[in-house]
Amino acid sequence: MAAVHFHNVTLGYDRHPAVHHLNGEVASGALVAVIGPNGAGKSTLLRGIVGILRPLDGSIHLGGLDSRDIAYLPQSAEIDRSFPISVFDFVATGLWRATGLFGGIGKAAREKILRAIASVGLNGFENRPLGTLSGGQMQRVLFARVLLQDARLIVLDEPFNAIDSKTTTDLLALVKHWHGEGRTVLAALHDMEMVRTHFSETLVLARGPVAWGPTAEVLTPENLMVAMRMCEAFDDSAAACAADDARSQAA
């Protein structure tokens, strides 16, 4: 059964597409890497999946998943770390599904939060303000929140950017653990070696699908070259797009 189904979906901003005509599906329990150069539309695609961005065309269906069954890890640049909130309180927001607007955080929930913080190696950081954390520590905090969300579909936007190898190894182990539990994981990544070694399925994106399938077959120099040559035009006077069916079928 598919966890995510793309039907000729186009996502973008102000009529300008960032991802054209994507068709295909992510199987339930899959571990999928989304790769491509900067501006390829990786983050846009992930935002479309989690419902932050509405498609310009086509549709995205989440197979039987409620929007609250999705955990999304944004790029940390999207977070206002100057806001005076502690690590504990920030991670606790991952319990929103259980607490909503008014639900209290009882002893059991408190234990859960502390366990999530501990499992990303941040014991003792509970009262630290977000603004005092390093980039790697912040990334661990975001993973702790995803842990707490206990979601069936996990969407990670460049989760290993600008962090050291120890942190990367620890967090990658968590990702594989989620996969082992049967959760569906999609991650936008740049590290080709990591993708080759740890991700069974890959979508190569370059404002449109270049290739999608088993990583060993998809991660070829030819496909990467095609992705690198993608058109980055952003033209207000461009003609309206005629659906490129042949291209989407080939993908």
Partner 1 sequence: MVYDALIGPFTEFEFMRRALAAVIALSLAGAPIGVFLMLRRMSLVGDAMAHAILPGAAVGFLLSGLNLFVMTAGGLIAGFAVAILAGVVARSTGLKEDASLATFYLASLALGVTIVSIKGTNIDLLHVLFGNILAMDDQTLLVVAFNATVTLLVLAVIYRPLVIESVDPLFLRTVSRAGGPAHLAFLALVVINLVNGFQALGTLLAVGLMILPAGIARFWSRDLTMMICIAVVAAAVSGYAGLVLSFQTRVPSGPAIILVATVLYIVSVLFGRVGGIVRQLFPGRHLEA
Binding site for partner 1 (CB under 8 A): 13-14, 47, 50-52, 67-68, 70, 72, 74, 78-81, 83-86, 90, 93, 96-97, 99-102, 129-131, 145, 149
Cβ closer to partner 1: 51 or 214? 51
Query: Least distance from C-beta 250 to partner 1, angstroms?
Result: 32
Cβ closer to partner 1: 85 or 230? 85
Query: Least distance from C-beta 96 to partner 1, angstroms?
Result: 5
Contact 58, 6 (CB under 8 A): yes
Query: Least distance from C-beta 216 to partner 1, angstroms?
Result: 32
Query: Least distance from C-beta 85 to partner 1, angstroms?
Result: 5
Cβ neighbours around 108 below 10 Å, total:
8
Cβ closer to partner 1: 10 or 149? 149
Q: Report the length, in residues, of the chain.
A: 251
Cβ closer to partner 1: 80 or 236? 80
Query: Least distance from C-beta 13 to partner 1, angstroms?
Result: 8
Output the DSSP codes for 50-98. HTSS--SEEEEEETT--GGGEEEE--GGGS-TTS--BHHHHHHGGGHHH
- The CA distances from residue 190 to 19, 34, 80, 111, 196, in Å, are 17, 9, 24, 35, 11
Query: Least distance from C-beta 159 to partner 1, angstroms?
Result: 14
For residue 153, what are the β-bridge partners? Answer: 70, 184
β-bridge pairing 184-189 and 153-157? parallel
Contact 239, 246 (CB under 8 A): no
Q: What is the DSSP letter of 129?
A: B
Cβ closer to partner 1: 28 or 99? 99
Cβ closer to partner 1: 68 or 229? 68
